Chain A
Amino acid sequence: GNSVTQMEGPVTLSEEAFLTINCTYTATGYPSLFWYVQYPGEGLQLLLKATKADDKGSNKGFEATYRKETTSFHLEKGSVQVSDSAVYFCALSSTGTASKLTFGTGTRLQVTL
């Protein structure tokens, strides 16, 4: 079956540091890949997505590239801010599964001054 593995947290960084959160997946077919972000006390919201191999999703300074050869979708940001502190979820939606996202366990990011 489908699965998503993301790095354990929490990740603690100083403001302006470089961020990488690793995400790898197992899926049949050609999944769409997503990063969702959950700010404290809120629901999840889409951060970025990619629907085919070599696509790069980007938003708010975050980027992730769909790498089919390594089955990865790592999240990166060049310079994090305190306001980026949140839980980040990698997810996939694979061919033929209606309305089903498979999520990773989430990675908590804390950014300090």
Chain B
Amino acid sequence: EAQVTQNPRYLITVTGKKLTVTCSQNMNHEYMSWYRQDPGLGLRQIYYSMNVEVTDKGDVPEGYKVSRKEKRNFPLILESPSPNQTSLYFCASSTGGRETQYFGPGTRLLVL
């Protein structure tokens, strides 16, 4: 089954404790993205990757890091999480910039 998976689905952590949210896709897509969803703001792009070792900032990259060492994986790293990063995070993949994006199920993060 074609899918995007994210782990963990739910995470509660404390300020400053580094964490990683994993994302993996099995569709051989070149493009992958991370979004955060906040009430009243819709989805905002954090980072995206056009291919292995090629990443770029989205609209709200501050406080986040990403890497793309393999085509299928695109982890999101919060080096020192803060309460304003409490949000619902989605990973997505696609064949190209203007094509349909396929979303993972989301990771709900709470930073205390």
Contact A46 B100 (CB under 8 A): yes
**Closest residue of B by beta carbon distance from A43:** B103
B contact patch SS:
strand
A-B pairs with CB below 8 Å: how many? 63
| A100 in complex: contacting residue of B40, B45, B105, CB < 8 Å | B45
For residue B94, CB closer than 8 A to chain A, the reply is: yes
CB distance from A3 to the nearest CB of B (A): 11
Q: B91: nearest residue on chain A (CB-CB)?
A: A43
A-contact bits for B1-43, CB 8 A (1 contact / 0 none): 0001000000000000000000000000001110100001111
Q: How many residues of A contact B (CB 8 A)?
A: 23
B50 CB-CB contact with A under 8 Å:
yes
Q: Please determine whether B43 and A99 come into contact, CB atoms closer than 8 angstroms.
A: no
Q: Contact check: which of B42, B45, B48, B90 meets A43 at CB < 8 Å?
A: B90
Tell me whether A99 and B40 are in contact (CB under 8 A).
no
**B75 on interface, CB distance cutoff 8 Å:** no
Q: Are B48 and A99 in contact (CB under 8 A)?
A: yes
User: Within 8 Å CB of B100, what residues of A?
Assistant: 34, 46, 49
Which are the 8 A-B pairs with shortest beta-carbon distances?
A43-B103, A99-B31, A98-B97, A103-B42, A105-B42, A103-B43, A99-B48, A44-B103
| A to B CB contacts below 8 Å, 12 in the list | A44-B43, A44-B92, A44-B103, A45-B103, A89-B42, A95-B98, A98-B56, A98-B96, A101-B33, A101-B101, A103-B42, A104-B42
